[in-house]
Structure 1
Amino acid sequence: MRATAAPLRLMLLDDHEFILHGMSHVLANQADIQVVSTHHTSRSLLDALRNTDVNIVVIDYSLSPGEVDGLNLIKAIGTRYPNTRVIVISSLHTPATVALSLRCGAVGFVGKELGAEELLKAVRTVAAGRIYLHPDMEGELHRNNVATHPLGPADADDAEPVAALVSTQGLTLREREVLRCCLDGLSVTEIARKFSRSIKTISAQKQSAYRKLGLRTDNELFKLRAQLEGW
């Protein structure tokens, strides 16, 4: 008689009870999946991981104020529990957010607006050792040539979320300079004056940086920064 494969062991994290209950219900009803525990806070999840081995954790990208979330939580799980794979769920998923999540160690990203079948597909894809992205998001990342490979030793300051944003997306040195100045609140004219370049050149470098990050507007840049820094 062929031995039955052990079910995939999962932990779930979301600070919204309704979403957490819905995810748990969908996943727990699958014969090949066991939901070991559900959590409303990152501290509760990390405490549980300290005592229990699981194959996959599904985490919300943006939790309540004061929580460890986003890139910092992905990194923490990857550092402490390298054999546990991370799938991120979020209602906010610009290409930059998705790419940075993958670069920091996540192996899947699912938009909250997608159906339950999409989450199941993500879990099974990741369990098979592959990265999961919805085809539309994967296509957008490829079209914009946004880097998704994991952070390496050459990525200086990669412990800082905003440094990771500026330093690790295939940006040129001058594009990085312009982006840092934008994050400091300088206008294109002020940046041009600072580096003795033309406004046209600075504008082109800024737009190139935005394209590589999957951003379209200054508002998206600052919204992403706020997410990364937990504002």
Structure 2
Amino acid sequence: MTPFAPLPPLDTAIPIRVFLVDDHAVVRCGMRAFFEMLDDIEVVGEAGDGEAALAALASLDELPDVVLMDLLMPRLDGISATRAIKQLYPQVEVVALTSFSEAERVHVALEAGAAGYLLKDAEADQVGAAVRAATRGQVHLDPAVARTLTRSLAAPQRCSLTPREQEILVHVAHGRSNRDIASALVISERTARTHVSNVLGKLGLASRTQAALWAVREGLVNDA
């Protein structure tokens, strides 16, 4: 399970458009076969490496909603391809798919702009959940990856947070944007953004994902 809030059902009237990038044809074939069984997700293209993926995306009349990206590939690796996609097409979400769960590798992928990180031995429903989460602006992590990141976080410093900042942290852990937080707390979006920055600074964390994992570890939110 992801450490973020449960996802409500999607409107399946318009399927989520997914583009597959992996240097193993058998992996792409398996992913395509799985998604063909789902009503709310459709595969709109595939590529064998990051360079081919960028070329293919540039030629599409309609961009995909999510790119499912292998990280270790020839010519242009998944990290570089993810960074390029997010620079060229910020509206396109990328979910990393790899065999490695080291915290440093996960951090690099998330910093490049990945909206999820899955291991290649993940259950099929986890892949679908990650794609759906990405379209909602939420980060979905493989359970093993989430545990790895959680263990890598700094020692607890909850006492340094004000009650309002703890409240902000809970909202961040539920995957809510600054705009959503502002609406829920009846404050300006700028104030919400400032609170989030203060929380990250006080806890010595680099991203909202790390903050969410920290909140789960400290029992501020449930990881179920």
In the other structure, the counterpart of 2:33 is 25
Which protein is bigger by CA-based radius of gyration? 1
Tell me which of 62, 72, 80 is aligned to 1:62: 72
In structure 2, relative to structure 1, the CA distance for the partners of 1:43 and 1:110 (3 Å cut) is same
Aligned partner of 2:119 in structure 1 is: 111
1:128 equivalent to 2:142? Answer no
- 5+ residue gaps, structure 2: 1-10, 155-203, 206-224
State whether residues 50 and 78 of structure 2, in contact with CA within 8 Å, keep that contact through their aligned partners in structure 1: no
Q: How much identity, in percent, do the aligned residues show? A: 31
Deviation, 1:4, is 6.0
Counterpart secondary structure, 1:6: coil
Structure 1 counterpart of 2:111, which letter?
R
Describe the SS at the equivalent of 2:42.
strand
Q: Secondary structure at the match of 1:93?
A: coil
Shift of 1:6: 1.0
- The answer as to whether partners of 1:55 and 1:83 remain within 8 angstroms in 2 is yes
What is the aligned partner in structure 2 of residue 35 from structure 1? Answer: 43
Residue aligned with 1:30, SS: coil
Is it true that 1:90 corresponds to 2:104 in the alignment?
A: no
Normalising by structure 1, report the TM-score.
0.58
Which is worse superposed, 97-106 or 42-51?
42-51
Distance 1:143 1:92 in 2: 16
Greater relative contact order (Cα 8 A, min sep 6): structure 1 or 2? 2
Q: How far, CA to CA, are the matches of 1:81 and 1:56 in structure 2?
A: 11
Contact residue 21 and residue 49 of structure 2 kept, 8 A: yes
Aligned counterparts, 1:148-163, within 5 A: none
Alpha-carbon offset, residue 43 of structure 1: 2.3
Decide whether the 8 Å contact of 1:11 with 1:37 is kept in 2.
Answer: yes
1:166 equivalent in structure 2: none
Q: CA deviation at 1:41?
A: 2.5
Q: What is the alpha-carbon distance in structure 2 between the residues aligned to residue 12 and residue 82 of structure 1? A: 17
Question: Over aligned residues, Cα RMSD in angstroms?
Answer: 1.9
In structure 1, stretches of 5+ residues that fail to align are: 147-169, 172-231
Query: In the alignment, what sits opposite 2:13?
Result: 5
CA contact (8 A) 1:24 1:38 kept: no
- The answer (yes or no) to whether the contact 2:102–2:148 under 8 Å persists in 1 is no
CA distance in 2, matches of 1:4, 1:90: 28
Measure how far apart 1:100 and its partner are.
1.1
Q: CA deviation at 1:121?
A: 1.3
TM-score, normalized by length of structure 2? 0.60
Report what 1:200 is aligned to: none
Shift in Å at residue 70 of structure 1? 3.1
Range moving further from structure 2, 137-146 or 117-126: 137-146
Q: Is the 8 A contact 1:87 1:110 kept in 2?
A: yes
